Amino acid sequence: MHTLFRATALAALVATAGGASAQALTEIKVSYQPALYWALPFHIATEKG
């Protein structure tokens, strides 16, 4: 029973430590050239809503 308790406590400790070291999200701006041939389906879909 002590082994199960220790394993559970260790798992909780690892899960808690992983969340504390997370970094803030960085915004990434993305663009595309609508004049290119591959963008035509996206442009038509955007215009049609």
49 falls within a domain: yes
38 falls within a domain: yes
Q: Would you write out the chain's pLDDT as a tens digit for each of its 49 residues?
A: 567 767 777 777 766 555 555 688 899 888 766 666 777 888 788 899 8
Show the domain range for 49.
24-49
10 falls within a domain: no
| Spatial separation of the C-alpha atoms in residues 34 and 10, rounded to whole Å | 53
pLDDT of residue 48: 94
3 falls within a domain: no
47 falls within a domain: yes
28 falls within a domain: yes
34 falls within a domain: yes
Task: Say how many domains are in the chain.
Answer: 1
14 falls within a domain: no
pTM of the predicted model over 0.85: no
Cβ density class 3-42: b for 16+ within 10 Å, e for less: eeeeeeeeeeeeeeeeeeeeeeeeeeeeeeeeeeeeeeee
